[in-house]
Amino acid sequence: MLVLTAFAIVRTDRLFATAMLSGMFSLLSALLFVVLDAVDVAFTEAAVGAGISTVLMLGTLALTSRVEKPSNHSPLLPLFVVGMTGAVMIYGTLDMPNFGSADAPAQTHVSPEYLEQSPHEVGVPNVVTAILASYRGYDTLGETAVVFTAGIGVLMLISGLKRRRRRDPDEKGEQA
């Protein structure tokens, strides 16, 4: 179904349908994450991907036109690049350990230590939270700073335009 949705996104040239379909795509991948037992990620995907980014896409859509412009270059080169990247990634997965195998590098390095120690050292039942906020506290601080910077960047880009346009007499009353 993910693949079907992706094809539908590529085929349609109406941007409204594209925005809605990408929301659907996110919701489906959230289901996939639930199946893989990554509930935290599924949460985020459902809320951010299906909820907020669809709203933001529609908000952007209101600022531009409704129909995609017809492209005037040949699709062969992009198709080749995408196909090659996909092939390389599939080739890469051949060397990866099987899903859930116990002797995968990810399971043998620090994870057992975290899993064994976190009930004593942190005492928080949700190990994901324990790792995120306690063992990897610096990283999470960095992530928060990244979110902060992204927000400031968008605000400066969009509100900056507005300030320049405020000289128009009819927009004087409105100020965000």
Partner 1 sequence: MGSHHLILRVVTKLLVGTIILFALYVQFHGDYSPGGGFQAGVILAVAFIIYGVVFSLQKAKQVFPPWLVHKLVALGVLIYAGTGLVSMILGYEYLNYGAFSPHHPSHGQHWGILIVELGVGVTVTGVMVAIYYAFAARPPRISNEEW
Q: Which residues sit at the interface with partner 1, rule CB under 8 A?
A: 16, 39-40, 43-44, 47-48, 51-52, 55-56, 59-60, 62-66, 120-126, 128-130, 132-134, 137-138, 140-141, 143-145, 147-148, 150-152, 154-155, 158-159, 162, 174, 176
What distances in angstroms separate CA 48 from CA 61, 93, 158, 175, one per listed residue?
Answer: 18, 28, 21, 28
- 73 versus 167: smaller Cβ distance to partner 1: 167
- 79 versus 145: smaller Cβ distance to partner 1: 145
- Smallest distance from partner 1 to CB 88, Å: 31
Spell out the SS3 assignment of 87-137.
Answer: HHHHHHHHCCCCCCCCCCHHHHCCHHHHHHHHHHHCCCCCHHHHHHHHHCH
- Smallest distance from partner 1 to CB 27, Å: 14
- 87 versus 143: smaller Cβ distance to partner 1: 143
- Smallest distance from partner 1 to CB 92, Å: 28
- 108 versus 149: smaller Cβ distance to partner 1: 149
37-76 burial code (b ≥16 CB/10 A, e <16): eeeebbeebbeebbeeebeebeeeeeeeeeeeeeeeeeee
**Alpha carbon 43 to its chain's center:** 12
- 99 versus 138: smaller Cβ distance to partner 1: 138
